[in-house]
Structures are given as structure tokens and as C-alpha cells.
Structure 1
Amino acid sequence: MKPTITIIMATYNRAQYIVESIKSIQAQTFKNWECLIIDDGGTDNTAEVLAPILIEDNRFSYLKRTDNYTKGLPGSRNYGLDLAKGDYIIFFDDDDIAHPQNLEICLEEFAKDDISFCRYLRHVFRGDFEYNFDLSKEYTHFYIDKRDINQILRNELQFNSCAVMWTKECYKKHRYTEHLRYAEEWEVYSRIITSVNKGISINKALYYGRKHEESITGDFNNKNEASLKSYADAIHLVIADLHKKQLLNTEILRYFVQVSLDYKEYNLFNRIFNTLDYSYLKKIKWTAIYLHLPFRLFFYRIYKKHIR
């Protein structure tokens, strides 16, 4: 039977965690799914620990990323997207835990309304996971569309990794940008959300992310060079896409002009404005804003300090 949902799980040297993640997928109350496990070239015993599960449950497929896709999370996920058979797509990580009603509740939301995605809450944990799930189906919700892109880009309305189910149609024209090593989800989600009608956000935790030192987010917080460069590249791509769609407003632009102060070594400010077909005078205006921002921010911090 054709699977309703395709779960795509990229993995790389996570043999110590992946079986627990797989078991949380097997525990799903909705059963008609396929799970594509894409190995990004790991060197540990992942294949060995997965072997009994693959024999027992043919809904799982274990594949090595081919050389047609760039090494890394984006390339592995793109490989999975090209193989997906389900009408809905969801990404799970190889070290996290899914709520047993994750797939069921998302599908119920899709059945109620004409939406392109279902966003839900993602909680984090460290160490051993406590299996004490809230199995109620009482929660509030709100809708999200392209008008919310300001909040999404500022991470005021977060689209966390693995906390969204999408219709397959969302990825018909969109793929992950494979050279990105950080913010690759943020960049592709921006493109998708500004291209579809609307989605829903439900206030219920359906996914649990494991925090440990090997995570990509940890690299960014530790100022990893590749992650910082990737974020600058992602910002540039997002700005270009919004401008093309005539969705780039002053608020978004001002926000990223300020962000670009921290990315001078990546020439982010000039890259942004070389992308925009602004008049000479308009570029001069934004250059003046950029040059004066450090002084304005300095005096603003002093002001905030004194009024506390």
C-alpha cells in the first residue's frame, strides 16, 4: 500500500541514539508511513544496529547518500525528497524522540482545512528521555501565512527542525540549498511559506529534541566558521527570494542590515544591496544607515542601562 507519509531521517554516526529514535517512529498511532534513513557517509556501526529493525519492519529503508548529492544534511534530505512516495513529508533527526500521536494529530489537522503545513511545538531534553506523554487532543491553534514572514525570519515565530509536517506539494519546486551548513531549514522554509497559501500551528508538543555537544546548533553557538558563513549565505538567499517575490519590506531589510554588522568578514551588507535593484540614492541612504548603526546601538544600550 502506498504510504500516506514519508519520514526522512538523515543520519551520520549516531548509532548510540538512532535505535531509540526509530522505536519512537514504530510507536506512532498512525501506521501507514515509510521512513527513509539516509546515511551521509558515517563510519560507525549504524548499519549493524539497524539491521534487525530493517528485517523486522519493511516500512524502513536504509540508504547511503549517493554522489549526486552534496555531503551534508541538505544533500541527504534532498535525496530522501527525490525518493519520497508519501503525500506528506516530515523530517525527523537521528537522535530525537517523536510523540506517539505526532503523525496522527498532524493528519487530522490536514483533514480539517486546506493547509500546506502543520507546525507544532518541539521541546528539548538532555540525558535520558522521560516517557510521559500528554495524550490529550485539546490544544489551541492559529494560522500562518506569508504575512508572518517578518516574525519567522527573526525567529520570533520559530520553525524548529523536525517540528513541521508538509504536503508533498510544498517540495515540488523547492529543495534544500546543498552548500549551506547552517540555517538551511530556515532558508528553504522561508521560500516555501512565502509560496503557499497557509498553514496551521498547534500548541502541543509533538517532538522532543535531544541536546548534546555534537549538534550543528552547538557549532553555531560556539562560533564555528562554517556555520557563521552559512548563515550569512542563507540571509543573502532569503533577501534575494523575498525581493523577487516583492515581499521585502523595510522592516525586514532594516533587521538584516543590523545583523550584517556582525558579518562584515563575509561582506554581507554589500552582497545584500548588490542583489537589490535599488536606485543609487536609495543605496546611499541604506549605506548611511549601516554606517551610523554602531553609534546608534551604542547610545541605545547606554540609554537602556540607565532607565532600568
Structure 2
Amino acid sequence: MKPVVTIVMATYNRAQYIVESIKSIQAQTFENWECLIIDDGGADNTAEVLGSILKQDKRFAYLKRTDLYTKGLPGSRNYGLDLAEGDYIIFFDDDDIAHPQNLEICVSEFLKSEIDFCRYVRTVFRGTFNYDYDLSKNYTQFKIDKSDVHKILKHELLFNSCAVMWKRECFIGNHYVEHLMYAEEWELYSRIISKGFKGISINKILFYGRKHDASNTGEFTKKDPVRIKSNTDAIVLVLENLKEQQLLSTGIIRYFTQVSLDYKAYNLFNRMMEALKLSTVENIKWKLFYFHLPMRLFFYRLLKNKH
């Protein structure tokens, strides 16, 4: 039977966590799904620890990423996207825990109304997971469309990689940028929504992210240069897309200009200006703004601390 939902799970040397993640998928109250586990070339015993589960539950498929896709999380997810058979697609990580009602509640929202995606709340944990779930189905919701893109880009409306179920149509012509090793979902999801796809956000925790230093976010926090460089690349791509979709604003340019102060070593501001292809007058205006911004911020913080 054709699956309704495709779960794409990229994995890389997470044998110590992945079985717990897989069991949370098996515990889903909605059962018509497939889970594509895409191994990005890990060297641990992931295949071995999954052996018995794969034999017993044919809804799982364990695949090695092919050389047609770039090594890394984006390439592995793109491979899964291209193999997906479900009407809806969701990305789970190999070290996290899904709420048992995750798929059921999201699918029910798609059946209720014409939406392209269903966002929900993701929370985090460290160490041993507490399986005391809230199983109620009472929650509020709000709509999201391209008018919210700036909120997403400014992290005022978070779009975590594992906190959204999408209609498969959202990915026609929209895949992960494979050279990005950080902020790849931020770039892709904002790009999808900027093109007019509409959805909802429900106020219920349906996913639990495991926090540890070996995660991509942990490495970014520790200022890993690969992750930092990827973040700057993603910002440039985001601005190029906003310009193409005619969603640029003075506020969003000002926001990323301030962000660029933290990435002087990566020449982010100049790359932004090149990507935006502004008029000569506008270019000069923003260069002057960038030049005076550190002093303005200094006095702003000084006055704020006095009050």
C-alpha cells in the first residue's frame, strides 16, 4: 500500500541514539508511513543495531547515499526526497524523539483544510528522555504565509528542520542546497514559503530534539569554521531569493547588515551588496550605514544600560 507520509531520516555515526529515535517512529498512532533512513557514509555499527528492526518492520528502508548527491545532511535529505512516495514529507533526525501523535495530528490538519504545511512546537532535552507525553488534542493554531517570511528569517518565527510536515508539492523545484552544512533548512523553508505556499502552526509539542555538542548546532555554537561559513552562504542565498520574489525591504537589509558585523572575516557585507545588485545611490547609502553602524550600536547600548 502506498504510504501517506514519508519520513526522511539522514544518519551519520549515531548508532548510540538512532534506535530510540526509530522506536519513537514505530510508536506513532498514525501507521501508514514509510521511513527512509539515508546513511551519509558513517563508519560505526548503525546498520548492525538496526538489523532486527529492518527485518521485522518493512516500513523502514536503510539506504546508503549515492555519489549523485553531495556528502552531508542536505545531500542525504535530497536523496530521500527524490525517493519519497508519500503525499506528505517530514524530516526526522537520527538522535531525536517524535511525539506518538506527531503524524496523526499533522495529517488530520491537512485533511481539514487546504494547507501546504503544518508547523508544530519542538522542544529540546539533554540526557535521558522523559516519556510522559501530553496526549490531549486541544491546541490553538495560526496561519503562515509569505508575509511571515521576514519573521522566519529573523528567527522570530522558528522553522526547525524537524518541526514541519510538508505536502510533497512544496519540494517540486525546491531542494536543499547541498554545499550548505548549516542553516540549510532555514534557507530552504523560507524559500518555499516566499513562493506562496501557505500553512498553519499548531501550539502543541510534537517533537523533542536531543541537545549534545556533536550536533550541527553544537558545532556552530562552538564556532566551527565550516558551519560559520555555511551560515554566511545561506544568508547570501536568502537575500538573492528575496530580491527575486520581490520581498526585499529596508528593514530586512538593515537586519542582515547588522548581522554581517559578526562575519567580517567572511566578507559577508560586501557579498550581500553584490548579491542585491542595488543602484549606485542605494549601494553608497548602505555602505555608509554599515560604516557608522558599530558606533551607533555602541551609543544605543550605552543609553540602554543607563536606563
The residue aligned with 2:111 is: 111
Q: Structure 2 length normalisation: TM-score?
A: 0.99
Instruction: Name the CA shift for 1:141/1:283 in 2 (closer, same or farther; >3 Å).
Output: same
Q: Compute the displacement of 1:196 (Å).
A: 2.9
Mapping of 1:1-20 within 5 angstroms? Answer: 1-20=1-20
Q: CA contact under 8 A between 1:90 and 1:162: conserved in structure 2?
A: yes
SS in 1 for 2:50: helix
Residues of 2 paired with 1:63 and 1:51: CA distance? Answer: 13
The residue aligned with 2:290 is: 290
Q: Compute the displacement of 1:277 (Å).
A: 2.8
The residue aligned with 2:62 is: 62
Q: Compute the displacement of 1:234 (Å).
A: 0.2
Q: CA contact under 8 A between 1:240 and 1:276: conserved in structure 2?
A: yes
Q: Compute the displacement of 1:47 (Å).
A: 0.3
SS in 2 for 1:90: strand
Q: CA contact under 8 A between 1:116 and 1:196: conserved in structure 2?
A: no
SS in 2 for 1:105: helix
SS in 1 for 2:179: coil
Q: Alignment identity in percent?
A: 69
Q: CA contact under 8 A between 2:145 and 2:193: conserved in structure 1?
A: yes
User: Does residue 243 of the first structure (1) align with residue 243 of the second (2)?
Assistant: yes
Q: Compute the displacement of 1:52 (Å).
A: 0.4
CA displacement, residues 2-57 of structure 1 (integer Å, 9 cap, x when unaligned): 00000000000001110110000000000000000000000000000111001000
Residues of 1 paired with 2:27 and 2:197: CA distance? Answer: 32
CA displacement, residues 180-227 of structure 1 (integer Å, 9 cap, x when unaligned): 110000000111011133110000000000111111101111111111
The residue aligned with 2:193 is: 193
Residues of 2 paired with 1:261 and 1:99: CA distance? Answer: 39
User: Does residue 101 of the first structure (1) align with residue 122 of the second (2)?
Assistant: no
Mapping of 1:1-308 within 5 angstroms? Answer: 1-307=1-307
Q: Compute the displacement of 1:262 (Å).
A: 1.0
Q: CA contact under 8 A between 2:69 and 2:75: conserved in structure 1?
A: yes
Residues of 2 paired with 1:275 and 1:222: CA distance? Answer: 28
Q: CA contact under 8 A between 1:35 and 1:60: conserved in structure 2?
A: yes
- Paired amino acid for 1:242: L
Residues of 2 paired with 1:163 and 1:138: CA distance? Answer: 18
- Paired amino acid for 1:5: V
SS in 1 for 2:81: helix
SS in 2 for 1:10: strand
Unaligned 5+ residue runs, structure 1?
Answer: none
CA displacement, residues 153-180 of structure 1 (integer Å, 9 cap, x when unaligned): 1111101120000000000110000001
Number of residues of Structure 1 aligned to a counterpart in Structure 2: 307
Unaligned 5+ residue runs, structure 2?
Answer: none
Runs of 4+ that moved beyond 3 A = none
Q: CA contact under 8 A between 1:170 and 1:196: conserved in structure 2?
A: no
CA displacement, residues 104-158 of structure 1 (integer Å, 9 cap, x when unaligned): 0001111111111000000111111111111110000000111011111111110
Q: CA contact under 8 A between 2:170 and 2:197: conserved in structure 1?
A: no
SS in 1 for 2:256: helix
Instruction: State the superposition RMSD in angstroms.
Output: 0.7
Residues of 1 paired with 2:166 and 2:135: CA distance? Answer: 22
SS in 1 for 2:121: strand
Residues of 2 paired with 1:167 and 1:197: CA distance? Answer: 10
Which shows bigger deviation, 261-270 or 234-243?
A: 261-270
Q: CA contact under 8 A between 1:141 and 1:202: conserved in structure 2?
A: yes
